[in-house]
Structure 1
Amino acid sequence: MYAKVPGACKLARVEEEILSAIKPSKKEKERAEEAARRAKSLVENALRDLGITGVNVTIEGSYAKDTWISGDLDLDLFILLPPSECLDVIKSGIVDRLAAKLSSMGLTIEKHYAQHPYLRVLVNDIWVEIVPGCAVPDPDKPVTAVDRTPFHRQYVISKMTPEMRDEARLLKSFMKGVGVYGAEIAIQGFSGYLVELLIIHYGCFRSVLEAAQSWRPPVVIDIENHYRDKRVLLKKFKDAAMIVVDPVDPDRNVAAAVSRQSLARFIVASLLYLNEPRKDFFYVPGAVEKPRPLPGKVLAVYGSRAGNTIVALFESPQKLPPDNLWGIAKRVLRAAIRLLEHWGFRILDAGAYASEEGRRFIVLVELESRTLPQLQLHLGPPAWNTSNAYRFIEKYRADETAVGPWITSNGRLAVARPRRYRDAIALLRDRMSEWLPSSAQGFTVSVATLPEAIDRLQGDELAWLLETGYKAPHWMKPRR
């Protein structure tokens, strides 16, 4: 284990090369600083013109903590309103009024939604998010979901050295590269703040990867030792794969979004990297982008599996926020899996992907076989359970569609019954009401095998299908 002392963690050559590629240059930092300064001034002037006073505009995001990656700037402006009137001001349409004002200044504006609306504004060719929140005095008493953010920034800045900020960049790049960076529902992985806390706790990038080799869910980390008894945390955050106590709000689990799959993926990637450090574990913005795959390439990767792979395409009549669309997609996926397994289909793999445009998603289920045998074994009671055995025999000896009943070698009664559904496509189409949640009402739905659906799929969907078809991620494969 590396000591938690600045400079004690030595970078491998690969890490030095990656850091040189992802650390923002002096020119890039100056450009970001100018955009932050101008955006803050524009927003403050706009608020003043709108007659909104008593607010504090703060600069947040990884830019403010200097843990951002070159080419992947995260720059936020928070409009912190007085707590007593915060929600009323937000509900009264401050975002819409601010959007109109900034638009009148000739700025490009996008409106987005989370817990409440927020804006994205293009300043000096850099997108800046403008988020309303409440200037709460204590981080453990937030009014909105974003109110702790300034406290998080202050904590990270107070704990991190310049060397540790570079270590955070490496860990973010690594997590992006192996597909576990981001707390949104699409990924269910590690947020930027969580990455920073891991560096603060373990000291450096490699120490986090080494520590991960001993992680077992639920992983528990309490940096400031708010809890003396680990059992309290396990009870408080029941079912969490990972528990990282928020240093500024002990009632919050910073790692609540991390799924068991993302945790496992990070542990395995860390194991492989420590044994064979390679650049392809990392994400470097601006690197050569892979071309969008053609349908033929996708089908070639699936090969004989394609006919046993079912794709359900959902198209919404209106654009939805990403988290909403992903939430629906994952609910549909879980329900489809339950239905298929209930009727005897064996699933090799399954997943969902929501399109970048916000209007459609696909659910993929790869089966051992799309079709099942005509008959299904149904075991009855033991022969010596005479009352139940008699009822079983009476029920099935008069059933002309069944084979049997007979007595098995271990003394149980058995019968072979015709399956109601032998084809997974027919099952999903026929019983659609059983696996579509109410949130998917109004969507256009089509269910088909991969070869039948392929021509209706878009570039980003094909790219996801290709990755899913390969199964093993690129970093898990041997170096060629």
Structure 2
Amino acid sequence: MVKVLESIKRHILPLILPTEEEIQKLQIISDKLIRSLRAEAEKLDIFPSFIEKHGSTGIKQTQLAGTSDLDLFIGFDPSDYRNYLQLPAKQRKQALKDLFLEYVKDWYIPAAHQAGFSNYVLSYAEHPYLTVRHNQYEIDIVGCFNLDLEYILVNGPITAVDRTPWHSRIVSERLNSAQKNDVRLLKAFFQANYVYGDKNTLGRFGFTGFSAEMLILFYSDLESVFRNFTNLDKSGIDFFGRPIQKLRKLHRFQDDYLIIIDPVDKARNLASSISERAYKYANYQINHFLKSPAPSFFIKKSLSLPSPKQLSNIEPHLATIELSSDGAVHYTELRDKLYSVAEKLRKILTKESDGTTRFGTSLFELYFEEPTFVIIFFCQHTQLESTYLRKGPPPQKPHNVQQFLEKHPDAFLKDGFYYAPVQRAYLQPFSLITEFFQKAKPIKGLILTSISNKPSSLVAQRAASLMLDYILPLYGILPHD
């Protein structure tokens, strides 16, 4: 395997390494912005501890070819902001928001103008920051507090982004050039298999660049990551040496499918947002790779349109819901709301209200090419009998039996339980799905445009491809009644 993997690396790395020209172009833009930020800071009598380049294109240098985003972090000495930090938590949070908004308007924006950049947008996370756009480049200017690592380990960060400079330093200092290339290969693998980032991944959210870096840091190289990946959901990763059983008992981690503890903050799971499906498909593909290694696992292919024959075989099991965004709401908010709505419907499709199987295994995925958002559903069974047997209580619970018989006079005793024939409300999944979305509360920023079991638009067909080529094979499902 080692020789084969090395051969694949030699084939893939030239395709994914950034060129010197790419690196230089981004460096020229970022250096220009940094000089302007320093000059404007002097005018305002603001004295930051540092202005540094972070993210994969910053001091980490783990970016893939074509990466055109950069994070400029401005670090502030917390001792200069005691009057803010001594406030009660709720007041402090608002005061810091107001402070960073003031910095964006009075400092970052004038600095961007001074550097010759007029295309920018005010962005929000825990507090406001500025996103500067220039040609294909996107640079975030973010304020944070310059905290010692020991302080964060003991007290946690003041704001979430205070960890980021330490993330960059750990990657920069503790990964050698070969390991950074392994990070790039792991990112490429995740991207090629639609389990990377937060756009059109399998599941709501895929692996992040930082999670890829930490996997290489913990396991040392790509082959070891692949060898250990199948147990990652059971073993977890904790740079502080705590056993996974102990971590699973902590309330903050109980709902997380994967656990990879932030090496800067023992109270943070950096993998909390990674979807179960993203992990399972990555593991599925890694197992295939280990059996039959090939460069193709690292090369992302566009979603091909399903053939008419493929669609004719699967259409009875599908429903595509198309919605159009008016551009007023950010895609992440729309994505999260659509996932929540679709998950609610998935549960309804799977079982009747009493827990009896309805349409069997039901799966969905969200795919979008703004302004079009598509939810695609697959249901195992497409036609049900008009009635089913609802299971009731056992004879040993006479009060419950009486209530059940009052509601179902034709109930009968079988195998130690009462059962009653019940008329189904829906015999086909498509009718349930249609009624659900027609009655659902509208989502701000989205307009429902169509519901169909025949994916007709190109976006809907690509959503069908995601379902056919990736999701159904993962679950070993063949459409049948």
TM-score range, shorter chain: 0.7 to 0.9
Q: Is residue 465 from structure 1 mapped to residue 464 from structure 2 by the alignment?
A: yes
CA separation in 2, counterparts of 1:298 and 1:348?
A: 24
Relative to structure 1, the CA distance from residue 266 to residue 471 in structure 2 (aligned partners, 3 Å threshold; closer, same or farther) is closer
State which of 300, 313, 323 in structure 1 corresponds to 2:322: 313
State which of 177, 180, 188 in structure 1 corresponds to 2:205: 188
Relative to structure 1, the CA distance from residue 428 to residue 20 in structure 2 (aligned partners, 3 Å threshold; closer, same or farther) is closer
Q: Is residue 69 from structure 1 mapped to residue 60 from structure 2 by the alignment?
A: no
Q: Is the 8 A contact 2:196 2:208 kept in 1?
A: yes
State which of 289, 295, 309 in structure 2 corresponds to 1:273: 289
**Pairwise CA distance, 1:68:** 1.0
Structure 2 counterpart of 1:166: 181
Q: Is residue 233 from structure 1 mapped to residue 247 from structure 2 by the alignment?
A: yes
**What are the superposed Cα offsets for residues 81-120 of structure 1, whole Å, 9 maximum, x if unpaired?**
4442554321336258634653576425242443344333
State which of 436, 440, 448 in structure 1 corresponds to 2:451: 448
Q: Is the 8 A contact 2:97 2:127 kept in 1?
A: no
Structure 2 counterpart of 1:368: 380
**What are the superposed Cα offsets for residues 427-473 of structure 1, whole Å, 9 maximum, x if unpaired?**
3454559865x8x257433562322xx44x4x444323222123469
**Pairwise CA distance, 1:366:** 1.4
Structure 2 counterpart of 1:202: 219
Amino acid at match of 1:450: N
CA separation in 1, counterparts of 2:103 and 2:15?
A: 42
Structure 1 counterpart of 2:132: 121
Structure 1 counterpart of 2:421: 416
Relative to structure 1, the CA distance from residue 184 to residue 244 in structure 2 (aligned partners, 3 Å threshold; closer, same or farther) is farther
- Indicate the structure with greater helix content: 2
SS in 2 for 1:77: strand
More divergent stretch after superposition (92-101 vs 198-207):
92-101
Q: Is residue 339 from structure 1 mapped to residue 342 from structure 2 by the alignment?
A: no
Amino acid at match of 1:468: M
Unaligned runs of 5+ in 2: 85-95, 477-481
Amino acid at match of 2:342: L
Relative to structure 1, the CA distance from residue 221 to residue 78 in structure 2 (aligned partners, 3 Å threshold; closer, same or farther) is same
State which of 145, 151, 168 in structure 2 corresponds to 1:134: 145
CA separation in 1, counterparts of 2:304 and 2:65?
A: 24
CA separation in 1, counterparts of 2:398 and 2:27?
A: 83
**Pairwise CA distance, 1:150:** 0.4
Q: Is residue 89 from structure 1 mapped to residue 103 from structure 2 by the alignment?
A: no
CA separation in 2, counterparts of 1:279 and 1:474?
A: 21
Q: Is residue 54 from structure 1 mapped to residue 53 from structure 2 by the alignment?
A: no
**Pairwise CA distance, 1:38:** 2.2
Q: Is residue 79 from structure 1 mapped to residue 88 from structure 2 by the alignment?
A: no
Q: Is residue 98 from structure 1 mapped to residue 98 from structure 2 by the alignment?
A: no
Aligned residues: 446
Structure 1 counterpart of 2:90: none
**Pairwise CA distance, 1:202:** 1.5
CA separation in 2, counterparts of 1:196 and 1:147?
A: 18
TM-score, L = length of structure 1: 0.80
Structure 2 counterpart of 1:400: none
- Percent of residue pairs bearing the same amino acid type: 22
**What are the superposed Cα offsets for residues 40-81 of structure 1, whole Å, 9 maximum, x if unpaired?**
2233334455x2612232110112211111222442111334
SS in 1 for 2:272: coil
CA separation in 1, counterparts of 2:198 and 2:281?
A: 15
CA separation in 1, counterparts of 2:446 and 2:132?
A: 31
SS in 1 for 2:274: coil
CA separation in 2, counterparts of 1:145 and 1:356?
A: 30
Q: Is residue 146 from structure 1 mapped to residue 158 from structure 2 by the alignment?
A: no
